[in-house]
């Protein structure tokens, strides 16, 4: 039996249905990401699991207990928000200790637990600082420590990295993943950033307009998107209509296709498919080309190994696409 089970969950505001018939599970220690475009219902779903938003129907079971109608504080769920939501008049130490004080734990035990958490999030030297004396990344680490210290059954993270700059975001997401794995903590992470989702998750639940479109292992979502919406949302897939697919491969293909830019290779020798380089962009480790093949514009990613390998705008190139790596779309 799954550690977390969300069954037929439904939420409406007045007559507007935000989602209905939502089903997904998480195993103990699994990190599941809810991914999807803005407004698709991810945060509402997370808040329903936390008990912060009332549901309109369905059932939630956590650690073998039905929690559907339990008050939030009884669910043993901790949540971290995008805006940290720290108490401004408390130090980092006091913020982290807050939940333990509420549970009336012994002072010595509180001190031990908070000290351990400060070490875990690498903030030992910042224990006596107030939130306004900390950077955004440090505030979010305090918020994370505050959530973890109460040893929740489930950790919910609602876009916790969105307010941070790119470099800190990457560092902190690695830290979150490391701590989550160390503690074997079942976690639901909400984001609209596909790179974040792919790099962090065991499994991704991709949502669109209040529905789950695909629920699968993170790597499978990337390698085998099941329809055009998923392929359009993940990576930089080239999406070809059936007619374009027939034209490009000069054979009968019965579905539309999704082709990852990195499986396509270019050469100076003529191939079965040939094209003309329209543009070249250096993205750091990747060189991204747009190549016109039979009036179909393909995005092609090549490793940026040396300038001597660059193809030039207007150059004729051979284009190799291994059909075995091409994904048929429903
Ligand atoms: N309190 C509310 N009353 C009415 N409608 C609401 C309320 N809260 C959210 N909604 C609506 O529910 C839908 C889903 O919102 P939600 O915040 O869950 O989306 P999201 O996928 O988390 O988006 P984002 O990534 O932008 O945070 C939106 O159309 C939103 O306007």
The yes-or-no verdict on residue 27 having pLDDT over 90 is yes
Residue 15: pLDDT band with limits 50, 70, 90: confident
**Per-chain mean pLDDT for the chain:** 94
pLDDT for res 84: 85
Rg (CA), the chain: 24
Q: Where along the chain do the CATH 2.40.50.140 domains lie? A: 237-329
CATH number of 4-232: 3.40.50.300
Structure tokens at 26: 């998480």
pLDDT higher for 84 or 41? Answer: 41
Residue 92: pLDDT band with limits 50, 70, 90: very high
pLDDT higher for 84 or 259? Answer: 259
pLDDT for res 268: 94
The set of long-range contacts for 15-20, using a CB threshold of 8 Å and a minimum separation of 24, is: 17/210, 18/44, 18/210, 19/44, 19/45, 19/207, 19/210, 19/211, 20/57, 20/210
CB within 8 A of 170, min separation 6: which ones? none
Output the CA 149–ligand 1 centroid distance in Å: 29
Q: What is the mean pLDDT of residues 219-236?
A: 92
Output the CA 262–ligand 1 centroid distance in Å: 35
pLDDT for res 164: 84
Q: What is the mean pLDDT of residues 51-66?
A: 95
Q: What is the mean pLDDT of residues 12-36?
A: 95
Closest atom of ligand 1 to 43 CA is: 22
The yes-or-no verdict on residue 81 having pLDDT over 80 is yes
pLDDT for res 83: 86
pLDDT for res 319: 97
Reported as a single tens digit per residue, the pLDDT across 105-146 is 999 999 999 999 999 899 999 999 999 999 999 999 999 999
Output the CA 38–ligand 1 centroid distance in Å: 8
Closest atom of ligand 1 to 40 CA is: 21
46 lines ligand 1 (CB under 6 A): no
Q: Which residue's alpha carbon is at the smallest distance from atom 20 of ligand 1?
A: 39
Output the CA 51–ligand 1 centroid distance in Å: 16
CATH architecture assignment, domain 237-329: Beta Barrel (2.40)
Distance CA 138, CA 86 (A): 11
Q: Where along the chain do the CATH 3.40.50.300 domains lie? A: 4-232
Reported as a single tens digit per residue, the pLDDT across 155-189 is 999 998 888 888 888 988 999 999 999 999 999 99
Residue 1: pLDDT band with limits 50, 70, 90: confident
Interface confidence: ipTM more than 0.90: yes
């Amino acid at each position: 039996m799954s550690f977390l089970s969300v069954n037929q969950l439904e939420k409406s505001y007045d007559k507007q249905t935000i989602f209905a018939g939502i089903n997904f599970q998480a195993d103990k220690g699994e990190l599941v990401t809810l991914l999807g475009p803005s407004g698709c219902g991810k945060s509402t779903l997370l808040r329903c699991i936390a008990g912060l938003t009332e549901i309109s129907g369905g059932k939630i079971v956590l650690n073998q207990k039905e929690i559907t109608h339990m008050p939030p504080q009884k669910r043993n769920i901790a949540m971290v928000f995008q805006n940290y939501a720290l108490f401004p008049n408390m130090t980092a130490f006091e913020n982290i200790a807050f939940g333990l004080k509420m549970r009336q734990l012994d002072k010595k035990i509180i001190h031990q637990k908070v000290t351990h958490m400060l070490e875990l999030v690498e903030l030992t030297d910042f224990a006596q600082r107030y939130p306004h004396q900390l950077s955004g990344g440090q505030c979010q680490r305090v918020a994370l420590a505050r959530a973890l210290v109460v040893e929740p059954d489930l950790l919910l993270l609602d876009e916790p990295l969105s307010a941070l700059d790119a470099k800190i975001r990457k560092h902190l997401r690695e830290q979150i993943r490391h701590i989550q794995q160390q503690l074997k903590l079942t976690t639901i992470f909400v984001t609209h950033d596909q790179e974040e989702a792919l790099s962090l998750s065991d499994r991704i639940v991709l949502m669109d307009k209040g529905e789950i479109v695909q629920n699968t292992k993170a790597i499978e979502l990337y390698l085998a998107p099941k329809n055009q919406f998923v392929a359009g949302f993940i990576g930089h897939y080239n999406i070809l209509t059936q007619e374009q697919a027939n034209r490009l491969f000069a054979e009968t293909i019965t579905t539309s296709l999704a082709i990852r830019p990195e499986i396509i290779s270019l050469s100076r020798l003529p191939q079965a498919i040939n094209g003309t380089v329209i543009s070249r962009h250096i993205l750091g480790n990747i060189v991204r080309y747009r190549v016109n093949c039979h009036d179909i514009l393909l995005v092609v990613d090549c490793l940026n190994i040396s300038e001597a390998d660059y193809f030039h705008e207007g150059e004729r190139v051979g284009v190799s696409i291994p059909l075995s790596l091409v994904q048929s779309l429903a």
